[in-house]
């Protein structure tokens, strides 16, 4: 465990160093005289140092200071990514100018301009209200009308931290309540910090109401900040139903929904570095009697889409609902998401099964307050019989709630 952490830190430092060196060479050096190079290097070096020390520092300081630190640190990180993206796309032009002995200052201005426009657009996407995404989930069984009439709101990857606080949570709770959901699923990565630091900012979510309750499972980020405390906080302070490799049954009239939830895969890694046997889903389904499976709607909440590896062992599970991917958050990072998770965003049928998988792009953002090619979204799901899918009334189109 310790060696993995050290290796990850070294890789992060190496990549960050190379990125800042390249940005200086491509975008800063062309404007400086030889005697001014040290000034430019110092400025870029300060941004590099802030990026390195900012992560541990943000978790140690009070939330008000954390907000200020993250505004500067994460905005720069996002802008640096966009600078590198445009630099890579313009690399052939840079090579021609370099080998012909011409100045790259005009190209540097172009790169800075395009990256600035992309940054403005990307920031706007996280500042505006979350997009409402409506999705019908066709289930391969006959569902009663009472179940088909239900709506389930999905929140995931909210990432309450320095840049996402109580004000945004109040708006989120108001938006969710305006949808009048029957069920609310919170599929992990609610926070990026401790209960002591962020508990007050999360409290407005206690006002979210659903006919049959709010169901919550952990994501990997809860495991960076004492997941046990966050489970207790969500159960005791927010009044949510916390599913820790467990299941609960909801009765809708004479019909039932079995809702199972498993811990994030981080639960498998013990503090001593050893790996537990992955029996998370086995524990969760053990409380669902065989007789209660065939006629009920069976829903699994699992933070990471890759947990479909376990889901396919239980073909009676109808739907898995996940988050984690952010849809990549920044184009073209979704290619790496596919490699790691197999699934990225939207509705899928799990390979070799009849089970559906729905992956939300996430309600918030992680790190840079930016999204490029993706959206902060609230998903509104309806579960219907596959044979009756064409006969249900159309759902509203995607929209954003008013400011």
What would the pLDDT profile of 79-99 be if each residue is shown by its tens digit?
999 999 999 999 999 999 989
Residues 139, 103 within the same domain? no
- The torsion angles phi and psi of 380, rounded to 5 degrees, stand at -120, 115
Segment 159-182 mean pLDDT: 97
Residues 140, 121 within the same domain? no
Identify whether 303 is part of a domain: yes
Residues 27, 139 within the same domain? no
Assigned token pair, 368: 């840079």
Domain of residue 156, CATH code? 3.60.21.10
Average pLDDT taken over every residue of the chain: 92
- The torsion angles phi and psi of 332, rounded to 5 degrees, stand at -105, 40
Residues 94, 183 within the same domain? no
Identify whether 90 is part of a domain: yes
Identify whether 403 is part of a domain: no
- Single out the residue of 396, 379, 383 nearest to residue 133, CA to CA: 379
**Strands 152-155 and 377-385, how do they pair?**
antiparallel
pLDDT of 46 above 70: yes
pTM for the whole thing?
0.92
Segment 317-344 mean pLDDT: 95
pLDDT of 389 above 70: no
Question: Which range, of 90-104, 183-197, 312-326, averages the lowest pLDDT?
Answer: 90-104
Residues 167, 279 within the same domain? yes
pLDDT tens column, 367-388: 999 999 999 999 999 999 987 6
Identify whether 398 is part of a domain: no
Task: Find the domain containing 329 and state its range.
Answer: 130-391
Identify whether 36 is part of a domain: yes
Residues 48, 21 within the same domain? yes
Under the banding of pLDDT at 50, 70 and 90, the label for residue 393 is low
Residues 246, 328 within the same domain? yes
Q: Are 129 and 171 in contact (CB under 8 A)?
A: yes
Tally of structural domains, the chain: 2
Q: Which residue has the tokens 């898995």?
A: 320
Identify whether 399 is part of a domain: no
The residue from 126, 150, 169 where one domain ends is 126
The confidence score (pLDDT) of residue 145 equals 94
pLDDT of 2 above 70: no
Identify whether 386 is part of a domain: yes
Q: Are 187 and 240 in contact (CB under 8 A)?
A: no
The confidence score (pLDDT) of residue 402 equals 46
The residue from 126, 144, 171 where one domain ends is 126
Residues 214, 352 within the same domain? yes
pLDDT of 218 above 70: yes
Identify whether 397 is part of a domain: no
Residues 251, 266 within the same domain? yes
Q: How many residues does the chain have?
A: 403
Residues 107, 229 within the same domain? no
The confidence score (pLDDT) of residue 399 equals 59
Under the banding of pLDDT at 50, 70 and 90, the label for residue 211 is very high
Residues 47, 137 within the same domain? no
Segment 11-33 mean pLDDT: 93
pLDDT of 178 above 90: yes
Residues 146, 102 within the same domain? no
The residue from 75, 93, 126 where one domain ends is 126
pLDDT tens column, 115-142: 999 999 999 999 999 999 999 999 999 9
């Amino acid at each position: 465990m310790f060696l993995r952490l050290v290796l990850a830190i070294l890789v992060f430092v190496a990549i960050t160093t190379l990125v800042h060196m390249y940005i200086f060479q491509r975008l800063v050096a062309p404007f400086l005289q030889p005697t001014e190079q040290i000034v430019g290097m110092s400025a870029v070096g300060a941004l590099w140092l802030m990026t390195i020390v900012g992560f541990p520092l943000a978790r140690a300081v009070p939330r008000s200071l954390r907000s200020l630190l993250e505004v500067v640190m994460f905005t720069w990180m996002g802008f640096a990514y966009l600078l590198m993206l445009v630099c890579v796309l313009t690399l052939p032009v840079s090579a021609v100018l370099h080998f012909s002995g011409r100045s790259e200052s005009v190209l540097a201005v172009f790169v800075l301009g395009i990256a600035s426009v992309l940054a403005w657009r990307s920031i706007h996407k996280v500042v505006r209200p979350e997009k409402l995404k409506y999705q019908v989930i066709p289930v391969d069984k006959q569902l009663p009308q009472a179940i088909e009439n239900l709506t389930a709101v999905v929140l995931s990857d909210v990432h309450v931290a320095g840049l996402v606080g109580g004000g945004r949570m109040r708006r989120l709770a108001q938006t969710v309540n305006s949808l009048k959901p029957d069920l609310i699923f919170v599929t992990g990565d609610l926070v990026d910090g401790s209960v002591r630091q962020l508990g007050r900012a999360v409290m407005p979510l206690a006002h979210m109401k659903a006919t049959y309750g709010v169901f919550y499972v952990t994501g990997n980020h809860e495991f960076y900040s004492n997941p046990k405390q966050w489970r207790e906080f969500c159960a005791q302070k927010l009044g949510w139903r916390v599913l820790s490799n467990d299941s609960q049954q909801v009765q809708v009239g004479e019909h039932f929904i079995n809702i199972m939830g498993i811990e994030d895969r981080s639960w498998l890694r013990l503090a001593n570095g050893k790996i537990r046997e992955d029996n998370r889903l086995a524990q969760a389904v053990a409380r669902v009697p065989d007789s209660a499976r065939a006629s009920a709607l069976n829903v699994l909440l699992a933070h990471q889409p890759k947990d479909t590896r376990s889901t396919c062992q239980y073909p009676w599970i109808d739907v898995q609902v996940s988050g984690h991917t952010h849809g990549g958050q920044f184009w073209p990072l979704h290619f790496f998401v596919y490699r790691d998770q197999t699934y990225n965003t939207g509705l899928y049928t799990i390979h070799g099964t009849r089970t559906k998988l729905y992956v939300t792009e996430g309600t918030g953002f992680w790190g840079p307050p930016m999204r490029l090619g993706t959206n902060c979204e609230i998903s509104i799901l309806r579960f219907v019989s596959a044979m009756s899918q064409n006969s249900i009334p159309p759902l509203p189109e995607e929209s954003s709630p008013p400011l």
